[in-house]
Amino acid sequence: MTLTPRAVLVYRRTELDELIARHGTRQQAAFFLETRGRSLDEVEARHTAQTTALTTASSAIPLDWRRGQVERADLSRFVFAPEDIVMVVGQDGLVANAAKHLDGQPVIGLNPEPKRNPGVLVRHDPRAIAALLATAVSPHAERHVELCTMVEARTDDGQTLRALNEIYVGHPSHQSARYTITAPDGRSERHSSSGVLIGTGTGSTG
């Protein structure tokens, strides 16, 4: 039996959600922002753009598909399936956060604020999601899939860390350290710095 595709919406809480969770009410959130020279209107406009994009994307999922939804903070606990099609609604950084939990599933980046966010990885208007989903599952449709390189670090004790953009190797305090970098061909160099940043071609866009 072949399972129907599952569309998984990945999002993060908006700044307004976080402010209300922290301060309790919109009025308190507005006061907090005013003390920092900001307006609640801007935060509410961005919240509306995000929720509208999520609603648009969710409404475009075919009725016979399975669906899932996961907030950024819960990504490490969410189990992605091989047949999932992942829709990331937000900024480029959210794609990077989601990618390290995936294993080859296609990702469609949806940009809720194209005028504010350049969207290197979230290139699509949420209103285009119905056509994008249809293309993703059609065996005859022409589609453009961009493969992104990831970086993986492994420690001596067996821990593994994967990232789409870059990995920082160094002390959390950025205290200077001496270390040796060895290339696969055996060449090595000694260095002294606060750490090493190993980046990918995807990360270079930042």
Record the pTM.
Answer: 0.77
Q: Which of 182, 110, 95, 137 is nearest to 6 (CA)?
A: 137
Per-residue pLDDT of the chain (206 residues; tens, 9 = 90+): 467 889 999 999 999 999 999 999 999 999 999 999 999 999 999 999 999 999 999 999 999 999 999 999 999 999 999 999 999 999 888 988 898 888 888 899 999 988 887 777 888 899 999 988 888 877 676 767 777 777 788 888 888 877 777 778 877 887 888 888 888 898 988 888 887 777 776 666 55
130 and 52 Cβ atoms separated by less than 8 Å: no
CATH for 6-13+47-137?
3.40.50.10330
Distance, C-alpha 78 to centroid of its chain: 14
Residue 35: DSSP 8-state: T
Residues of the chain with CATH 3.40.50.10330: 6-13+47-137
Q: Which residue has the tokens 């998984």?
A: 8
